[in-house]
Each structure stands twice: as structure tokens, then as C-alpha cells.
Amino acid sequence: MRGSRRLIVGQNGEMYYTEDHYNSFQEVLLQPRSKRGKNESKNPGSRNICPQT
């Protein structure tokens, strides 16, 4: 059985994550390696995207 988590990639490279099977999304924001400092997290950022009702 497949889970409800998904990573969606758009035509222009934008990425969104959903953990509730497309009911809500978070935009995945990647930071280039060259701009990351030594003590910064390697995890990408994200922001909530509210679904249209």
C-alpha cells in the first residue's frame, strides 16, 4: 500500500511537499550550496501553501 506523502515537481523546477495526499502543500525552498555557511543546516526550507477552496 502506498502512503499519503508526495513530492511534486512542476515544469519550471518548483517543488511542493504534501503529507496528506494533496489536501495541503508546502513549497520546498532549496538553498544553493555555495551560499550556505559552515554552521547552517543542510535541510531545505519550506513554506506553507494553502490550498484553493
Q: What is the mean pLDDT of residues 11-32?
A: 92
Q: Which residue has the higher pLDDT, 1 or 25?
A: 25
**Full-model pTM:** 0.55
Percent of residues, the chain, with pLDDT higher than 70: 62
Q: How confident is the model at residue 53 (pLDDT cuts 50, 70, 90)?
A: very low
Q: How confident is the model at residue 9 (pLDDT cuts 50, 70, 90)?
A: very high
Distance CA 16, CA 29 (A): 9
| Cβ count near 42 (within 10 Å) | 7
Predicted pLDDT of residue 2: 82
What is the sign of the dihedral through the CA atoms of 44, 50, 24 and 11?
negative
